[in-house]
Structure formats: C-alpha cells, structure tokens
Amino acid sequence: MVSRSSCGVCIEHAESTFRVDGLCCHEEAALLEKHLRRLPGLTALSADVVRQQLRVHHDAARVSVTRITEAVAEAGLRAWPHEEDRARPAVARGWSRGLFVSISGVLVAVGAALGAAAAPRWALAAAFGGAAVAGGLPIVRRALAAVRLRTLDINALMLVAVIGAALVGEWFEGATVVFLFALAQWLEARSMDRVRRSVGRLMSLTPAEAILRRDGQDIVTPVDAIGLGEVIVVRPGEKVPLDGNVADGESDVDQSPVTGESVPVPKGRGSPVFAGTINGPGVLEVRVTRRGRDSTIARIIHLIERAQAQRAPSQAWVDRFAQVYTPAVLLVAAVTAILPPLALGAVWSDWIYRALVLLVIACPCALVISTPVAIVSALTVAARHGVLVKGGRHLERLADVRAIAFDKTGTLTTGRLAVTGVYPIGPMDRATVLRLAAAVEARSEHPIGRAVVALARAEGIGVDAAADFRAWPGRGAEARVGRATVLVGNERLLRERGVDSSPAADIIRSSERRGGPAVLVALRGELVGALALGDQVRAESRPVVTELKRHGLAPIVVLSGDSARAAQTTADVVGADEWYAELLPEDKVDAVVHLKARAGTVLMAGDGVNDAPALAAADVGLAMGVAGTDVALETADVALMGDDLRKLPYAVSLSRATLGTVKANVAFSLGLKAVFLLLAIAGMATLWMAVVADMGASLLVIANGLRLLRFRPTA
C-alpha cells in the first residue's frame, strides 16, 4: 500500500512477518527489538518468543525485507520472511543444531573417559574444548551480538560462566555447562514447536486453489483470483475454499474447524458455507460472497494472531519482575565474587566459582516463558473448539468472572418463533388441525406462518393447496382449503367473523403466560383448534446454567426487552436467579453496571449486535453464533463461533485452568530460583547443576503449559 504524506513524499507502508530461528527467551526478543528500532523507516515491530515470529511495520522504500533480515543476523539470529519459511522443509530447521549438540555430548563423554584414564592434559583440553566449540558456537555468536548492543542476555551470562570455569581450572564443568545448555535449548525449541504447529494448523485451514465453474467449464483457479458472485464447485471430502451460499446441491458440511460443532450440518440451496469447513458426501456449487482475505476464517485467524500478540496482565508483571531480577542477581554475584576474599581473606577461586553459578541463575528464562506458553496454548485450543478469546487479558478476566447476565432472545432461546403445542377443540384430530393451519399459512410471509408450516413439514404432514388467500394484518389470514373456508388468526379476527373463541380461553391464557401468542383455527365458522407459539428455550440452556452455578457463578441474571411474563418464564425454565424485563438497550447497560457493583466481575452474553452496549459495559462481553458476523467478531471479548451455549462453561473452565497453570509455573520458577540462590551462595551448587535446574525449569513450565492443548469440553 502506497500513501502520500502531507509534504508530498511517497511512503510505501508494508507489514512483513518473519520466522526467527533461535529466538528462545525474552531477553533475546528485547535485544532484537532494541537493535531493529535503529533502522530508518520502521513504524512498529514486535517479537513473539512463543511463535518465534517477528512482525514489522515499515516504509518499504526506506528499509527493505532483505535489510531487516540482515539486521536480525547482526543481532546473532537468523530470520526468514514468512513465505520463504513456509517453503522450507521442517527437518531443515533443526537437524544441524541437533547434530552439533550430539557432537558436543560425545566429546564431553570422551573427555570424562580420558580424565578417568589419567590422560594427558592436552587430550583433556582437546576433548573439552571441542565439546565447548561444537555446542557453544551459537552461544558465542549471540553473546557477542548482545555485548555489541551493550546488553547482557542469557548467552552472554553463559559465556562468562564458561570462560570463568576454564580460568579456575574447571574444564569438565565448563564443557558440561555448554553441552547441557545447548541440549536444553534444543529440547526447548522442539517443545515450543508443538505450540507453533498447533497454531499453524489453524492458519492452514483453507486451500490455496478452488474449482471455478465458468461458462460450463471447471477451472482450477487460485482463490485470490476468484471474484464475488462467481460459482465454485466443492467435491465430496474437500475443504470449502471461500465463504458463500449454496447455489445448487445438497450435502452435510463439517463446520468444526470454524464453529467447533461436532455434528455435520445439512446444507442445501441458499445455505451459507464457510471457508475452511469440510464438505461431506454431496457435490456443492457455491456462489462466493467474500474474497479469501475477507472470509470468516481469515478474520478469525487475524484475530487469533492479534490475541496471541497481546500481553496478559500476569505476563506484563513477570516481564517487569524480570527487568529487576536479573540486575539484582548480577549485583549479588559481583558482591559474592569480591567481598568475601577482600573482607575475610577467603579463597578467590572458590567465591568466583560461586559467583559464576549465580550468573547462570540470573537468567529469568523459565520465569518469562512460564506465562506466554500457557496463554498461547489456551487461545489455540479454545479456537480449535469454536471459542475465540480476543487476548490473554480477556482470558484471565474470564477466569475472575463471578456473575453472568444473559440476554434472553437468541441466547437462552433460539430467537425464532416455533409452535409449542397443537390443541384440537371438538372431534377433529391434531394432525388435521395442523394440516388446515399450514395450508393457509403456507401463503403467508409472517414468522408465525413460517413456524406453522415448518412444524407440519417436520412431522411429515402434507401442506394442501389453498385458494382465495387473504391476509388481515395484525389479526391473521383466511383461505379456501378444498371447498371450505379456513380462518387462522387471533381472537380479534375470529370475533370479527362471528366465531366463538371461548373454548380456547385457557389455551390463550397459558400461552400468554409463557410469553408467546396463540393462533386459533376455524373451519366453516366453527372453532376446531388452537396452536401455541413461543420463542423456544434452547435445550442446553438449563444444563449450562446448572454447570455455571456448579462453577460458583452467581447470580445468573436474565435481561430481556420482552414482557415480564416472557422473561420470568424463561428464567424459571433455565433456572436463573433473577430476571429483568421490558429493557431498552440503555437499560441493559444500567443492569450490567449495577450487577458489577454488587457481584464483582461480570460476563454479559448476547448476540454481539443488538447487545453491543451491554457487552461493552461488562468486564467480559461474550457473543454467540457469530460465524460470518463481522460486527459481533469485533464487538465481543469472547466469541462462540456456533450456536452451542455449552461452550460457555468450557471457556470458563479453560480460563481458570490457564490461570492456575500460569500461577503454578510462576511459583515453581521463582521457588527454584530462590533455592538455587541460597545453594550457590552457600557453595552447595555447581555450574552444571545450575544449568540443569534453570533449563530444566524452562522445559517443565513449557510442558506444563502445553498440557492445555489437550483441554477438552466436558460435554
């Protein structure tokens, strides 16, 4: 994209993404950012340790992609543009590093064997020196880059520790430290690849090509070259390449990649389909409604990337703590090396060795990685199950939710009128009453008419042809079915036409108490039946409310713009604690604010469009059924891509599990650091023990965070 500034200078704005090999800790990310900010033409950049990714906003006319990769190399790392990295075989990314680590380990073992056999010192020096070189070249390269930039990272600290060990005669320990550190970094990179592969599976849901049907011919075409309104063919078992509506054909489509729904959804003419979903047994012709870059899955992926780039509050705290921790430990190490020999006449080599152990402990890698790996794992597994959380901040806030406010219509209920009961009056049977009503309503466009016809078809009842149809707005309709006139409408219509509706009085009152209308059916001027309608409560609503209460959430509140009877009925059916009716959008905002004042952190669940003000007023706004709805995707903090309300308890459980994992990781990392600080000062810890403890802690917190990738819904 090219734009012109106010002074007439052309600025070629670009956003470039790179894979950065070896980016393994927060210090290296900070070092990289510090160095890159010196480049001209950069407007924004961020380095992501978890995904080993660098995102740069820059003026392409002033700083090119090639210059950025060169600058990354100057910082001791290697970078590939995203497109080139995707083309590289995965095996090419780590085999050489693993080979050098193996060589280092073999040489350490050889050196130990030579030492046990009392070999000459030159042989020991060759073995241990070779081990240090084989395993330590990346360490030296990055350490020198850090020193040039006047920064001390883990590589610089480790290099000083190894050189110090060699100077005090601890060759074996120095070589062992290099090998263990290189091995731990390699294992850590392999572990983090699990997170990246999991995220990558989300990023590669859509095919790059589609079958375009044009002028009766099927042409394999890149999705980027397909325009709106064109027709694509999706064969059985293929992924849908673009969002659209079915123009022809019938099939069942697996929407789990987008909505998390476990059961394939039937699709026919006019049904919407989403890119990234998987076609079932039938062939579908789909008329494209969105280009690839604007598809629902593309927007979801963009939001996931944006969410993963955001720092959670716990992560921000850890980063601030690390900025203080490392300098403090370095100061303690300096005092440990100098003060006892000067003040107490202690042996210099002993206290220098203890200070070297402290240098290794000074690295906060395990502490810094403890939070983002858990957050990214949770965001990824949530998206895989149809729950889009817009960042770590919202995930942690979701874990703190104490009360929930539900919008009634479309959230706890289906939001669509449905026939809840068919009641014959007199000798006529139920099926005949429904058949007569459907015959008249088949000519109507009213939601009540559609609900009546839908029930008849669902029950296999044929819809007879009607003639002389006439609609009475606000009252009902009449038509001739066969040779008889049939009226379908409310009390007012029947009264105007001289039909006695008193036999249906109890049915009418019962339906009104439930918040829905009643429709009366008259044949040849006689009342023959009644139909009760209502906005049906979702089958899963009551179990969901029960599950939320089991999680300790209270009160559960229903907010509705409908009548008091409708709101109370829905609240009673689902088991809510409170209900509020006849609310305007601003009234819902007030209700949420008052609920926050007395209950604490509040989640508001709605459709994300009409409830946008209330969702914004809540601590966490959750919209459901938002697949294909841009406004809802942008409005909500948490979005359920499908209409399955059972994903809400899953999201709450996942958020709490994530926060628990983060706290456990931080506590473990800090506790281990504290123990080894004391052991080092007391002279009870060795260099290799410190490396094993520090890098082992990193591996353990990564493994603990990765467990969240297996978090599954309970229902």
- CATH number assigned to the domain comprising residue 65: 3.30.70.100
- Whether residue 326 lies inside any domain: the answer is no
Whether 5 shows a pLDDT value over 50: the answer reads: no
- Provide the pLDDT confidence category of residue 153 given band limits of 50, 70 and 90: low
Query: Model confidence at 310, in pLDDT bands (50, 70, 90)?
Result: low
Same domain, 483 and 629: no
Of the listed ranges 205-214, 460-469, 527-536, 542-551, the one predicted with least confidence: 205-214
Instruction: Answer with the residue of higher pLDDT: 607 or 200.
Output: 607
Please report the DSSP string for 131-184 in residue order.
Answer: HHHHHHHHHHHHHHHHHHTT---HHHHHHHHHHHHHHTT-HHHHHHHHHHHHHH
Burial class (CB in 10 A: 0-12, 13-18, 19+), 144: middle
Give the pLDDT confidence score for residue 631 in this predicted structure.
Answer: 61
Considering only residues 481 and 28, tell me which one the structure prediction assigns the higher pLDDT. Answer: 481
Please tell me whether residues 420 and 533 are part of one structural domain.
Answer: yes
More confident residue, 187 or 102: 102
Count structural domains, the chain: 4
Instruction: Tell me whether strands 484-489 and 387-389 are parallel, antiparallel or unpaired.
Output: unpaired
**pLDDT at residue 238 is higher than 80:** yes
Choose between 360 and 599: higher pLDDT: 599
Burial of 182 (0-12, 13-18, 19+ CB in 10 A): buried
Residue 615 — pLDDT band, cuts 50, 70, 90? confident
Asked if residue 266 belongs to a domain, the reply is yes
Q: How far is CA 377 from CA 192, 194, 395, 641, 648, in A?
A: 10, 9, 12, 19, 18
* pLDDT of residue 12 exceeding 80: no
Domain presence at residue 78: yes
Domain's final residue, options 93, 117, 149: 93
Let me know whether 530 and 551 are in one domain. Answer: no
21 is catalytic: no
Any idea what the CATH number is for the domain that residue 245 is in? 2.70.150.10
pLDDT band at 11 (very low <50, low <70, confident <90, very high): low
Q: Are residues 64 and 27 in the same domain?
A: yes
Over residues 484-531, the pLDDT tens digits come to: 999 999 999 999 999 999 999 999 888 877 777 899 999 999 999 999
Of 149-158, 178-187, 228-237, 310-319, give the range with the top mean pLDDT.
228-237
φ, ψ (nearest 5 deg) of residue 31: -65, -45
Residues 558, 513, single domain; the answer is no
Would residue 419 be called left, alpha or beta, if left means φ above 0 and alpha means ψ between -120 and 50 degrees?
A: beta
> How confident is the model at residue 32, as a pLDDT?
82
What is the model's pLDDT at position 7?
Answer: 46
Q: Residue 197: pLDDT above 60?
A: yes
Q: Are residues 421 and 528 in the same domain?
A: yes
pLDDT digits (tens, 9 = 90+) for 92-144: 445 566 788 888 888 888 888 887 787 787 887 788 888 888 887 777 877 77
In a domain, 72, yes or no: yes
The predicted pLDDT at position 8 comes to: 46
Q: Which amino acid is at 708?
A: L
Task: List pLDDT tens digits, range 46-97.
Answer: 887 766 788 888 888 888 888 888 888 887 788 888 666 555 555 444 556 6
Regarding whether 418 and 408 lie in a shared domain, the answer is no
pLDDT score at 124: 79
Same-domain check for residues 508 and 455: yes
Residue 661, pLDDT score: 94
Mean pLDDT within 581-586: 84
607 belongs to a structural domain: yes
Query: Among residues 48, 153, 407, 562, which one is catalytic?
Result: 407
Fill in the amino acid letter for 506: D
Evaluate whether residue 301 is within a structural domain: no
Nearest to 17 by CA among 63, 85, 75: 85
Cβ atoms of 340 and 389 within 8 Å: the answer is no
Top-confidence range, 241-245, 294-298, 566-570, 706-710: 241-245
pLDDT confidence of 537, banded at 50, 70, 90?
A: confident
**The domain that contains 564 carries what CATH number?**
3.40.50.1000
Q: Give CA–CA dist 443/439, Å, rounded.
A: 8
Q: Which domain holds residue 603?
A: 389-413+540-653
**Has residue 542 got a pLDDT over 70?**
yes
The answer to whether position 147 is within a domain reads: no
pLDDT tens string 357-387: 887 777 776 777 778 788 888 888 888 888 8
Amino acid 402: pLDDT: 96
**Are the beta carbons of 603 and 401 closer than 8 angstroms?**
yes
Do residue 553 and residue 636 come from a single domain?
Answer: yes
- What is the pLDDT at residue 245? 94
pLDDT tens digits along 256-273 = 777 766 678 889 988 899
Q: What angle do CA 203, 375, 190 make, to 5 degrees?
A: 65
Q: 440 pLDDT band (50/70/90 cuts)?
A: very high
Q: What is the CATH number of the domain that holds 533?
A: 3.40.1110.10
**Domain-embedded: residue 257:** yes
Last residue of a domain, one of 634, 653, 672: 653
Nearest-CA neighbor of 713 among 662, 622, 642? 642
pLDDT confidence of residue 557 = 96
Q: What was the pLDDT predicted at 438?
A: 95
**Which pLDDT does position 546 carry in this prediction?**
96
* Same-domain check for residues 544 and 484: no
580 and 636 co-located in one domain = yes
Query: Is residue 566 scored above 70 in pLDDT?
Result: yes
- 205: pLDDT strictly greater than 90: no
Tell me if 679 sits within 8 A of 662, measured CB to CB. Answer: no
pLDDT of the residue at 437:
95
- Between 195-204, 333-342, 361-370, the lowest mean confidence (pLDDT) is in 195-204
Final residue before a domain boundary, out of 494, 521, 537: 537
pLDDT tens string 444-485: 878 888 899 999 999 999 888 899 999 888 789 999 998 899
Residue 3 confidence (pLDDT): 42
Kindly state whether residues 493 and 642 are assigned to the same domain. Answer: no
